[in-house]
Amino acid sequence: MGFRPFVYRLAQRHRLSGWVRNTPAGVIVEAQGEDAPLADFMRAITAEAPPLAVIAAICSEDIPPVAGEGFEIIASGGGAGVIQVAPDCDVCPDCLAELFDPADRRFRYPFITCTNCGPRYSIITGIPYDRPFTTMARFPMCPACRAEYEDPGNRRFHAQPIACPECGPRLAFTDAAGNEMAGEPLALAVELLRAGKIVAVKGIGGYHLAVDAGNDRAVGALRRRKKRDEKPFALMAPDLEAIRAFAQLDAIAERLLEGPERPIVLVEKRDRTQMGLKGRGTGDPHISPQVAPANGYFGVMLPSSPLHHLLLRENFAALVMTSGNLSDEPIAYRDAEARERLAGIADAFLCHDREIHTRCDDSVIRVFRGNPLFLRRSRGYVPRGITLSAPQRSVLAVGAELKGAVCLTRGEYAFLSQHIGDLKNPATLRSLEETAAHLGRILEIRPELVAHDLHPDYLSTRAAAGMGLPQVAVQHHHAHMAACMAENRLAGEVLGVIFDGTGYGPDGTVWGGEFLLGGYAGYRRVGHLDLVPLPGGDAAIREPFRMAIAWLHRTFGAALFDLDLPCLAEVADRKREIYLRMIERGINSPPTSSCGRLFDAVAALLGVRNRVSYEGQAAIELEALAEEGGEAGAYPYVLVTTGGGTVVDVRSMLRAIVEDLAGDEPKAFIARRFHATVARAAADVCGKVRAACGVDQVVLSGGVFQNRLLSEELAGLLEAAGFQVFVHRLVPPNDGGIALGQAVIAGHAFS
């Protein structure tokens, strides 16, 4: 990140002698001079640090003066500590100005960079971070670049990816078969995108599939070819002004969007009145209604590389920029692989000859209570270390099944990998194994243990079994709780409210609406949502109407099919008997306490979604509906004390919802009341646990807490009741953060 050149220039300014070097323990500086310049030098290190630098601590000591003059940068060296690697980042303002300056020798050069910006993690092949250990090693510097690289006063001093049109990587534009097309590559790409074609664009961490976001036919073609029926696409716009034309931005969203990490940020649509529940549009001519159907938000980002800036500026109001893959596969990042996997989707490829060594998909964030909340932590943030409350043994944690990511620990640091994908096929499993090996290599971490989910059939669990290390199986929801504790550096005992879709329960049931009391060393279940059958197992996740039937049966018994509800109308008479037998006899219908499945059930009851095409769709659309409802009170519920803790019985809520539907109550108000009811019930359980145990620290984790309405309501209720509430800020609340919890639990078990 250019810290050594920065220190060098500071020392020159203050006329100090000495040296600076990188070590695994951090940057070490030896500086010699008069007292006042030394004091100014120390202050400037913090006040003027480079844009990408994060200074955790500065320690100093006086040493005897030595002979010699001048200040130098010396080679990276060894030493105790943990190596840190910088993430990839966007173009800095200085490089961006040069990119569009006709007088500059890098005018419109798509690989412009300096010490303050550009690729890092995705191009590193080994350590130390010097050019021979990056994918830029195959591009010898021309004399002009070499002079900049060796000039301590230059912004590109020791910038490892430095390049120019004379010596650096080059663009190419090919057809779907890989044949290079004659003409200027960027101009050809713009021409095809304007014509409604799909172009695969090679970015920093992999390929995107791009289409003109205002071209309805092009967006529809991308959906069909990518086999992505309804899941929202991400948008890339040239600047904030362009985004304001179709979305609402606040100061926090703007700051996140313009940060060097360049994440996708969820922002509210400017015109929600035509959002609809069946895919109607935004009412805005800039964006096709097929970009984010039945959703109140757009996922937007700003350009994250010079190539993106060139592609967007003065050409498009916005482009769809979605990961270059088929559903459930990891993002394509190698050129030959991309041509093979994306040939049936993309009409052409805008590519280049700078190799991507490590794939890294886009990060996704939403704003929660004035702070970022990760839905996916990846490019721009990985592999920043997370500081733990205490040092521990080195552990490799392999996560669960959905939203795969691995975590490595060493000393007091945990390093969570980039988003890998859902571990449902061999390609994603290979990506997980490659990521774990690469991260361990560049961070010089050799794990002593491997932690995995308690579920025996997850591919990640099977991978852990083949690693030849002692294994630690970690219960899914305990890992969620520990992850939130770890990033907030909590110790001792807390109360965890863990709401998600499904997780393997040690009692043989499917957990997902849990209240856990404990810490890293262990936990006990002190409450949960009422149990209902999961009719058809995984089929109930894909078809929320099954969960509506299960909850209606729990509430009304076999008379449920006498109710006049849209979610029941499409269930044929012969199927009704089958579902009743499954539920009543427990045939392929394991009991579940899942909060995510309760959201699915209510979404089906309200006619929001009977079937889903992507994970969480019913709950996402239910939240969007609830946001239109305003303050609406809450429904009744009952807390039942049992030998296993407090059970939240919501049958009275289900009865009231059915009555409201019969009375033509607006569905938005019903959805809002449902959210409020879940929040109030959870807060009441926390109150009961505190009365019995005295605990007043609560952590909120699990995929359901991606829901802003529920999270804000519950956090507010708990804080009003005097609880200290801790939420996720550094890792996702969903399964993308679960490896962190596995790692600290395993590390504690073998401390």
Find the helix or strand (DSSP H, E) in which 128 lies: none
CA dist., res. 704 & res. 710, Å (int): 8
Residue 52 lies in a domain: yes
Same domain, 99 and 65: no
CA distance 594 to 734: 14
CA distance 17 to 66: 10
Q: 138 and 41 share a domain?
A: no
Is 518 within a domain? no
Q: Within a 13 Å sphere around the CA of 291, how many CA atoms are in the beta-carbon half? A: 32
Dihedral, 141, 143, 146, 151 alpha carbons, nearest 10: -170
The residues pairing with 510 across neighbouring beta strands, listed in sequence order, are 504, 592
pLDDT at residue 26, as a whole number: 80
Tokens 């230059």 correspond to 154
Q: What CATH number is associated with residue 617?
A: 3.30.420.40
> In CATH, what number is assigned to the domain containing residue 48?
3.30.70.100
pLDDT attached to residue 278? 34
Please, which residues have CB within 8 angstroms of residue 68's CB and are 6 or more apart in sequence? Answer: 17
Is residue 206 domain-shared with residue 155, that is, in the same domain? Answer: no
Q: In this structure, are residues 736 and 421 in contact, taking their beta carbons and an 8 Å threshold?
A: no
272 with 324, same domain: the answer is yes
- What pLDDT is recorded for position 274? 42
**Which of these three, 73, 100, 122, is where a domain ends?**
73
User: What integer pLDDT is reported at residue 630 of this predicted model?
Assistant: 82
Tokens linked to 649: 């019985």
Tokens representing 681 are 């019930």
| Domain that includes residue 434, residue range | 383-479+733-751
64 and 141 both lie in a single domain: no
Burial class (CB within 10 angstroms; exposed 0-12, middle 13-18, buried 19+) of 682: buried
SS3 state at 197: coil
Query: Which pLDDT belongs to residue 78?
Result: 58
Q: Which strands form 17-23's sheet, in the order they lie side by side?
A: 26-32, 17-23, 71-73
Q: Which are the contacts of 612, defined by CB distance < 8 A and separation ≥ 6?
A: 541, 542, 543, 544, 600, 618
How sure is the predictor about 56, in pLDDT bands with cuts at 50, 70 and 90?
confident
Identify whether 432 is part of a domain. Answer: yes
Question: What is the β-pairing status of strands 297-301 and 371-376?
Answer: unpaired
Question: What phi and psi, each to the nearest 5 degrees, are found at residue 516?
Answer: -115, 135
Say if 333 falls within a structural domain. yes
Cβ pair 397, 740 in contact under 8 A: yes
pLDDT of amino acid 513: 98
What is the rounded distance in angstroms from the CA atom of residue 308 to the CA atom of residue 238? Answer: 8
* 275 — pLDDT class (breaks 50, 70, 90): very low
Cα–Cα dist 598/604, whole Å: 10
Out of 14, 40, 73, pick the residue that ends a domain: 73
Q: Is residue 515 part of a domain?
A: no
27-45 tens-digit pLDDT: 899 999 999 999 999 999 9
**Could you give the number of structural domains in the chain?**
5
Q: Is the CB of residue 322 less than 8 Å from the CB of residue 222? A: yes
35 lies in some domain:
yes
**Which amino acid would we find at residue 602?**
V
**Would you tell me how many other CB atoms lie within 10 Å of the CB of residue 407?**
29
226 and 337 assigned to the same domain: yes
Between 311-325, 326-340, 460-474, the lowest mean confidence (pLDDT) is in 326-340
Torsion over CA: 642, 647, 651, 653 (sign): positive
- Measured in degrees and rounded to the nearest 5, phi and psi for residue 41 equal -60, -45
Per-residue confidence (pLDDT) for residue 345, from 0 to 100: 96
Mean pLDDT within 409-420: 95
8 A C-beta contact, residue 222 and residue 320: yes
| Model confidence band, residue 68 (pLDDT cutoffs 50, 70, 90) | confident
Q: 449-453 and 532-533: which strand pairing?
A: unpaired
The CB-side HSE value for 651 (13 A sphere, CA atoms) comes to 15
Whether the CA torsion 708, 402, 419, 732 is positive or negative: it is positive
Work out the angle at residue 551's Cα, subtended by the Cα atoms of residues 680 and 613, and round it to the nearest 5 degrees.
95
Least confident range of 69-83, 255-269, 287-301, 370-384 = 69-83
Per the CB < 8 A criterion, the answer to whether 705 and 731 are in contact is: no
The whole-angstrom separation of Cα 157 and Cα 21 is 14
Are 615 and 685 in a shared domain?
Answer: yes
Considering the domain architecture, whether residues 138 and 180 belong to the same structural domain is answered as no
Q: What was the pLDDT predicted at 273?
A: 52
Residue 117 contacts by C-beta under 8 Å, 6 or more apart in sequence? 51, 52, 89, 90, 91, 92, 95, 260
Q: Name all contacts of 466-469 with Cβ < 8 Å and 24+ positions apart.
A: 467/396, 469/396
Computed over every residue of the chain, the mean pLDDT equals 93
CA distance 424 to 458: 8
What whole-number percentage of the chain has pLDDT above 70? 97
- pTM attached to this predicted model: 0.92
Q: Which residue has the tokens 């009865």?
A: 655
What are the structure tokens assigned to 643, written together?
A: 């030998």
Amino acid at 251: A
The answer to whether residue 118 scores a pLDDT higher than 50 is yes
pLDDT at 121: 95
Q: Residue 80: is it exposed, middle or buried by C-beta count within 10 angstroms (0-12/13-18/19+)?
A: exposed
pLDDT digits 0-9 by tens, 604-619:
999 999 999 999 999 9
CA dist., res. 301 & res. 237, Å (int): 7
Is the same domain home to 453 and 314? no
State what percent of residues in the chain have pLDDT above 90: 82
- 474-528 per-position pLDDT tens digit: 999 999 999 999 999 999 999 999 999 999 999 999 999 999 999 999 999 999 9
pLDDT confidence of residue 233: 97
pLDDT tens, position by position, 661-678:
999 899 999 999 999 999
Domain end residue (candidates: 47, 73, 99)? 73
Average pLDDT over residues 621-636: 91
Cα end-to-end distance, the chain, whole Å: 34
Q: Is the pLDDT of residue 181 over 80?
A: yes
Among 562, 541, 542, 538, smallest CA distance to 552 is for 562
Distance CA 670, CA 636 (A): 13
Residue 631 is given by DSSP the state: -
Contact criterion met (CB below 8 Å) for 601 and 550: yes
Same domain, 197 and 150: no
> Do residues 150 and 265 share a domain?
no
Residue 431 domain-assigned (yes or no): yes
Residue 226: CATH number of its domain: 3.90.870.40
Confidence category of residue 283, pLDDT binned at 50, 70, 90? very low
Domain membership of residue 367 (yes or no) is no
Same domain, 99 and 135: yes
pLDDT at 75: 75
Amino acid at 297: Y
